Amino acid sequence: MASKKYLLLVAVMCFTVISSFSQVKIGTYYDSSQIPNRRMPQHSEFLSGTYNFPAKPRNQWEIGIKGGLFQVSGDIPAKFLSPGFGLHVRKAFGYVFSMRLEYIYGIGKGYAFRAANNYAKNPAWGTNISNPGQRYNAPMAVSGAGGVRQVVSSVTGLAPTTPWDNVYYNYKTVVQDLSLEGIITLNNVRFHKAKTGWTVYGIAGIGGTVYDTKVNALNGSNKYDFNALNQSDYKNRKSFLKNMRNSVLDDTYETPAENQGERRPKLFGDTFKPSGTVGMGISFKLSKTINIALEDRWTFIKDDLLDGQRWQEHAWGDAVLTRDFDSYNYLSLGLNLNLGGKSVEPLWWLNPLDYAYSEIRNPRLMRLPKPVLPDTDGDGVTDQFDLEQTPANCPVDSHGVTKDTDGDGVPDCKEKELITPTYCQPVDADGVGKCPVPCPDPATCGLCTTPCGGGGGTCATTLGALPSVSFKVNSTVLSADAKAVLATVAAKMRNNPGCKVVVVGYCSSNKKEQQLSWDHVNAVINYMVDSEGISSDRFIFNYMQEGGDCNTVDLRAAGEGEDGPNRVEPPHPNLMKKNK
């Protein structure tokens, strides 16, 4: 009952520890609180872009507990299910290398399957067995059955009068191990994946081992009678050992095994030996603060008495020392916790390439070379977008093409007449057009060079030739150049308040062209009314005319007596353009 209470108490304590550390916040490379003071200069230079490498962050410590199977590898076969437990504290010094201080406590047991006879030199057995094995100088023959055997000399044919006793070696050793180990993580540097949920690592270290070995040689104060064991059990090791433990041996282990005596250092009365450790492990992450680890480690010491036996069995001769040393193995399963609130995870859980790849995809601080954008003709439009090489001091559009406001083929920078009406074109090399003579009498307009009813009268003289307005293909939006042209027309109309202006749009071959012609005329009149403040009744709405450019609207002074509506309903409302 008491053991159950202790088990429950341990479980509650583990749950409390896990809960308290599960909220540890893990930061990033840029969190200054996770950078040690001695690395802050590097961190500052990195953030400012004057140093290429980030400072190594402060990383968490790991503490762990473990339990498992402890076995001694010696002259006597070991019992497989022998307990061991351990504690450790671990700290990373880089993304691959870390160090660990580990304490191991193990209890190893073993039982021999074969009988031994040359145990006279082993004090744990030679002093407790009444008739240890005898030495002969010549080969012997064996007679007899069961546990009592007779030795007969093949030379003399004589046999001793007293039989010897059989012994089945056993031992129990308590081992304590404190070692400092270097650990190499093998798989956290990954090129094709971010963090991993498991790590594989190798272990190598040095330390010290203290052990105390005893044998079970007496039943109370009496010696064991191993001769009673049935030799037929030799063929079945498992049943034989079970029978020996149940019918012959108790569990006292009362006799100190042979040791080095005072020839070797002692610690707390037990034998002390330097040791070396190697091993492998694999750990699995359960959260950022908790992981479990499966490890197997071997420890080697320069001593042959971990199992209390160092004498070889030489048939019918003296016992001699073995030439090998004992070692022990510890296979364990452990629970590990990471400690440190203002630290990143232990570095062996991080992939150092995470930062490099994140900077490649989403750079935080990128230095780009100053762009070189050549502009050969110096018109303000770089060569990769410039459609022509423009003469110096000629204004251009966004494509680097010389501006020609009135579309007469002469660039504005060479024009002497910036805006030439369409009906006054073509023009000469200076961009000056030759306007036709207006009709003095509408009755004789067939003999004139201008259309009937157009361009005559006082208004034609005072307003002069009015410019045309151009639209982009299929667009009804007035460009900045078009608005500048209309501003000059508005100024003339303000100076001649008695004059009307005819706004003429072209094309009528299909519904789309008819509606577009209406949209163009409507856009010009609305702009003059809304933006320039000219009364709408001073315009004559004239669209769907022939003989002109579909994307051009002409303006001319209304002839004397010429009139028309200033507003016309759209011919095809469903095809109207809306600010396009």
CB 163 within 8 A of CB 133: no
Q: Which amino acid is at 370?
A: K
Angle at 8 between CA 7 and CA 12, to 5 degrees: 120
553 lies in a domain?
yes
121 lies in a domain?
no
CB 459 within 8 A of CB 500: yes
Do 450 and 330 belong to one domain?
A: no
Do 441 and 338 belong to one domain?
A: no
Do 179 and 305 belong to one domain?
A: yes
Do 450 and 341 belong to one domain?
A: no
Residue 182, class by beta-carbon neighbours within 10 Å (0-12 exposed, 13-18 middle, 19+ buried)?
middle
**Alpha carbon distances (Å) from 497 to 73, 485, 530, 537, 538:** 120, 19, 17, 11, 9
| Torsional sign, CA 409, 411, 416, 418 | positive
**Alpha carbon distances (Å) from 499 to 125, 462, 489, 531, 534:** 140, 9, 12, 19, 11
Number of domains in the chain: 2
Residue 419, class by beta-carbon neighbours within 10 Å (0-12 exposed, 13-18 middle, 19+ buried)?
buried
Domain of 311, in residue numbers: 58-116+167-356
Q: What is the CATH number of the domain that holds 560?
A: 3.30.1330.60
452 lies in a domain?
yes
Question: Of the candidates 80, 303, 282, 85, which has an alpha carbon nearest to the alpha carbon of residue 188?
Answer: 282
First-to-final CA distance of the chain: 90
CB 435 within 8 A of CB 421: yes
Q: Using CA atoms, how far apart are residues 180 and 494, in angstroms rounded to an integer?
A: 101
Do 347 and 445 belong to one domain?
A: no
For the beta carbon of residue 567, count every other beta carbon within 10 angstroms: 10
pLDDT, tens digit, 9 for 90 and up, residues 520-565: 999 999 999 999 888 889 999 999 998 888 999 999 999 888 888 9
Show the tokens assigned to 250. 């108790």
Do 458 and 335 belong to one domain?
A: no
Do 346 and 441 belong to one domain?
A: no
Domain-ending residue, one of 356, 390, 424? 356
pLDDT tens digits, the chain, 580 residues: what are they? Answer: 444 544 455 454 444 444 433 333 334 556 777 888 888 888 888 877 788 788 888 899 999 999 999 999 988 888 888 899 999 999 999 999 999 999 999 999 998 888 777 677 778 777 665 445 443 333 344 433 334 344 443 333 444 434 456 788 899 999 999 999 999 999 988 888 777 789 999 999 999 999 999 999 888 878 887 777 765 655 677 888 888 888 888 888 888 888 877 666 777 778 999 999 999 999 999 998 999 999 999 999 998 889 888 877 654 445 555 667 899 999 999 999 999 888 889 999 988 888 777 777 777 776 777 778 888 887 878 888 778 888 887 888 878 788 877 777 788 887 777 777 766 777 777 777 776 655 554 444 444 444 443 434 478 888 888 999 999 988 999 999 999 999 889 988 888 888 999 999 999 888 899 899 999 999 999 999 999 888 889 999 999 998 888 999 999 999 888 888 988 889 888 888 765 5
Q: Using CA atoms, how far apart are residues 507 and 552, in angstroms rounded to an integer?
A: 10
CB 330 within 8 A of CB 297: yes
For the beta carbon of residue 217, count every other beta carbon within 10 angstroms: 26
DSSP secondary structure of 1-41 = -HHHHHHHHHHHHHHHHHHHHTTPPP--TT-GGGS-GGGHH
* 0.75 exceeded by pTM: no
Domain-ending residue, one of 356, 391, 421? 356
Do 76 and 204 belong to one domain?
A: yes
45 lies in a domain?
no
Do 214 and 317 belong to one domain?
A: yes
Q: What is the CATH number of the domain that holds 312?
A: 2.40.160.20
139 lies in a domain?
no
The residues pairing with 540 across neighbouring beta strands, listed in sequence order, are 502
Sheet holding 552-557, edge to edge: 468-470, 552-557, 501-506, 539-545
Query: Mapping DSSP to helix (H, G, I), strand (E, B) and coil, where does residue 51 land?
Result: coil
Do 68 and 207 belong to one domain?
A: yes
CB 527 within 8 A of CB 567: no
CB 504 within 8 A of CB 521: yes
Question: Of the candidates 388, 399, 398, 393, which has an alpha carbon nearest to the alpha carbon of residue 414?
Answer: 393
Do 102 and 239 belong to one domain?
A: yes
Q: Using CA atoms, how far apart are residues 482 and 490, in angstroms rounded to an integer?
A: 12
| Torsional sign, CA 558, 564, 568, 572 | negative
66 lies in a domain?
yes
193 lies in a domain?
yes
462 lies in a domain?
yes
pLDDT for residue 181: 97
Do 335 and 446 belong to one domain?
A: no
Domain-ending residue, one of 340, 356, 372? 356
